[in-house]
């Protein structure tokens, strides 16, 4: 009896030792990182306003692949061009998972392109890319659409008669109207109160997501649901966006001609009808509403913020603005609208616009990826369920990729002969299979809007160029540019 008890006790001890050993080995197979506290993880030691800066500093100690804990959530951060390329491009299939970011998950109810994984993501991405291209994204038809919207923007700015104005909502309305043409098949007036309210909401959503309060929701969503705060209003506002989208979808249903789809919603409704007898279909109303919400949000705020930031840069550096105008005048003259094919004849202008995107660093931590299964990477194991942050900031501001990473310098994209020069570390839209679906549209908008505006106006601000601060107003999920009243003086009588 005593011997039996001893054997049982010895067996239990042996099993416990094995489990401890396995856990230790598993911990050792994780990428290195700072010691974390229970529940709160590494949050106490992170810059609350710009956590990506802390991760950048830690990478100097632990290397380009590090493990941190944001609250109870295990996170692996990838830093530097080589690590991101190896993960997102060379091991693309392993890193296609999208992290269930609580704020985004709540906003989309778990549906739609941005938050999905597996077969749902593959079907929605393939369908969305094909449909947007069919309606002209990245092609001549879309170029003419943007030129028309740009012409309306110029007319509106002209009506202000060189008085100071806040460009935020004029640019948001113009940029948003491009994605609205693709998705809803219509444009909205600058004076449409309902549309302007939606643009305010979109701006507020991005600002909230980049605030400490928004980051707190992502780390402790269960706790935050019990607390009052800005997140409550934000989710009410998101429901207003969803309600607007649902109303548009119903109107499309009432007027749908299956043989002549007008826009993305019509194409999705057609696919829903084709697969109505398939119980496993991903083409249903929940995915339609949330994917349109994804496109509406992403297609409005990030591009309009980039155009607004570009104007701030040109006001701060008037000599760069003047050099761009001289190049534009030489190639286009006063009247001809810019075309995408002009970009190769405008190398300095193209270089400045690339540098704007690099320097702005609009989504420094990218949207988080997710380990759907255990991932072997650089000799480490990234366990299933780990959030993965491809740190775009670490590439766009890398000291081994850019001559002067912390200064605005168009020469980063010019060779010694003044010709445009590509840099593989230019990744503002991320890379691999989860790269932004609207990248070609955003590139086209940024180029055509800015060239058209500089062809017509010279931009200044009432307090002079030194008053412009290019550092972001908010900096976490996104680097949100500051707001300034600017002036647009017509260049030609």
Residue 209 scores a pLDDT above 90: no
Sign of CA dihedral 313, 477, 434, 405: positive
Residue 19 scores a pLDDT above 50: no
Q: How confident is the model at residue 22 (pLDDT cuts 50, 70, 90)?
A: very low
Whether the CB-CB separation of 41 and 70 falls below 8 Å is answered with yes
488 DSSP β-pair partners: 459
Residue 312, SS3 per DSSP: helix
Q: What are the tens digits of pLDDT across the range 296-323? A: 988 888 999 999 999 999 999 999 999 9
Residue 3 scores a pLDDT above 60: no
Q: What are the tens digits of pLDDT across the range 325-363? A: 999 999 999 889 999 999 999 999 999 999 999 999 999
Q: In what order do the strands lie in the sheet with 485-490?
A: 165-166, 485-490, 457-460
Alpha carbon separation from 125 to 132, 266, 277 (Å, rounded) = 11, 17, 22
Which residue in this structure is represented by tokens 């890193």? 95
pLDDT at site 257: 95
* Encoded tokens for 359: 């320097």
* Backbone torsions φ then ψ of 284, nearest 5 degrees: -140, 175
Residue 24 scores a pLDDT above 50: no
pTM, full prediction: 0.90
Left if phi > 0, otherwise alpha if psi is -120 to 50, otherwise beta: which for 138? left
Which of 10-19, 299-308, 350-359, 418-427 is least confident? 10-19
Torsion of CA 46, 84, 99, 235, to 10 degrees: 60
Kindly report the average pLDDT of the chain as a whole number: 90
Q: How confident is the model at residue 28 (pLDDT cuts 50, 70, 90)?
A: low
Distance CA 41, CA 156 (A): 51
Q: How far is CA 239 from the centre of its chain?
A: 21
Q: 298, exposed or middle or buried, with CB in 10 Å at 0-12, 13-18, 19+?
A: buried
Sign of CA dihedral 144, 148, 150, 154: positive
pLDDT at site 137: 67
What's the per-residue H, E or C state across 183-204? Answer: HCCCCCCCCCHHHHHHHHHHHH
Q: How confident is the model at residue 25 (pLDDT cuts 50, 70, 90)?
A: very low
Contacts 24+ apart (CB under 8 A), 247-253: 248/184, 248/292, 249/285, 249/288, 249/289, 249/292, 252/185
Alpha carbon separation from 117 to 99, 113, 372, 390 (Å, rounded) = 9, 8, 9, 17
Residue 381 is classified by DSSP as: E
Mean pLDDT of 242-261: 96
Residue 417 scores a pLDDT above 60: yes
pLDDT at site 49: 83
pLDDT at site 484: 95
Q: 13, exposed or middle or buried, with CB in 10 Å at 0-12, 13-18, 19+?
A: exposed
Q: How confident is the model at residue 141 (pLDDT cuts 50, 70, 90)?
A: confident
Query: Can you list the domains of the chain with their CATH numbers?
Result: 102-359+402-490 (1.10.630.10)
408: nearest Cα among 392, 397, 418? 397
186: nearest Cα among 116, 252, 277, 279? 252
N-terminal to C-terminal alpha carbon distance within the chain: 106
Left if phi > 0, otherwise alpha if psi is -120 to 50, otherwise beta: which for 385? left
Alpha carbon separation from 394 to 54, 366, 405, 432 (Å, rounded) = 11, 11, 10, 17
* Encoded tokens for 98: 């999208």
Mean pLDDT of 136-162: 87
Residue 279 scores a pLDDT above 60: yes
Q: How confident is the model at residue 59 (pLDDT cuts 50, 70, 90)?
A: very high
* Encoded tokens for 135: 């309606």
H-only helix segments in 190-274: 193-209, 212-219, 221-226, 230-255, 264-274
Q: How confident is the model at residue 10 (pLDDT cuts 50, 70, 90)?
A: very low
């Amino acid at each position: 009896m005593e011997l039996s008890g001893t054997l049982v006790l010895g067996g239990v001890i042996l099993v416990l030792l094995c489990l401890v050993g396995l856990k230790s080995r598993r911990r050792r197979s994780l990428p290195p990182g700072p010691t974390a506290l229970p529940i709160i993880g590494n949050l106490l030691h992170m810059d609350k306003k710009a956590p990506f800066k802390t991760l950048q500093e830690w990478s100097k100690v632990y290397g380009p692949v590090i493990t941190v804990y944001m609250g109870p959530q295990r996170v692996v951060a990838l830093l530097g061009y080589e690590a991101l390329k190896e993960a997102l491009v060379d091991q693309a299939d392993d890193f296609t998972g999208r992290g269930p970011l609580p704020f985004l998950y709540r906003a989309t109810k778990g549906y739609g392109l941005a938050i999905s994984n597996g077969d749902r993501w593959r079907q929605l991405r393939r369908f969305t890319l094909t449909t947007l291209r069919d309606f002209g994204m990245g092609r001549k038809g879309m170029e003419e659409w943007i030129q028309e919207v740009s012409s309306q923007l110029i007319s509106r700015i002209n009506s202000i008669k060189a008085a100071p104005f806040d460009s935020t909502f004029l640019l948001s309305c113009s940029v948003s109207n491009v994605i609205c043409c693709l998705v809803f098949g219509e444009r909205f007036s600058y004076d449409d109160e309902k549309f302007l309210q939606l643009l305010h909401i979109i701006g507020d959503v991005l600002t909230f997501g980049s605030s400490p309060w928004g980051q707190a929701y992502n780390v402790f969503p269960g706790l935050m649901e019990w607390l009052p705060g800005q997140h409550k209003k934000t989710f009410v506002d998101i429901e207003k966006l969803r309600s607007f989208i649902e109303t548009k979808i119903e109107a499309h249903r009432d007027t749908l001609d299956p043989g002549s789809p007008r826009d993305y919603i019509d194409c999705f409704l057609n696919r829903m009808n084709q697969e109505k007898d398939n119980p496993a279909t991903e083409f249903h109303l929940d995915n339609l509403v949330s994917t349109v919400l994804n496109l509406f949000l992403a297609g409005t705020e990030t591009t309009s913020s980039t155009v607004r930031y570009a104007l701030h840069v040109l006001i701060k550096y008037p000599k760069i603005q003047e050099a761009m105008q001289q190049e534009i005048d030489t190639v286009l003259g006063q009247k001809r609208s810019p075309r995408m094919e002009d970009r190769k004849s405008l190398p300095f202008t193209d270089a400045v616009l690339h540098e704007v995107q690099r320097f702005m660093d609009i989504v420094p931590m990218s949207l988080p990826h997710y380990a759907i299964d255990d991932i072997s990477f650089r000799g480490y194991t990234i366990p299933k369920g780990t959030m993965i942050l491809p740190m775009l900031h670490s590439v766009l501001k890398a000291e081994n990729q850019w001559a002067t990473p912390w200064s605005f310098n168009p020469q980063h994209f010019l060779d010694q002969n003044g010709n445009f020069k590509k840099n593989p570390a230019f990744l503002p839209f991320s890379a691999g299979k989860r790269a932004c679906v609207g990248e070609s549209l955003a590139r086209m908008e940024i180029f055509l809007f800015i060239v058209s505006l500089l062809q017509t106006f010279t931009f200044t601000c009432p307090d002079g160029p030194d008053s412009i601060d290019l550092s972001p107003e908010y900096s976490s999920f996104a680097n949100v540019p500051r707001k300034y009243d600017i002036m647009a003086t017509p260049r030609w009588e």
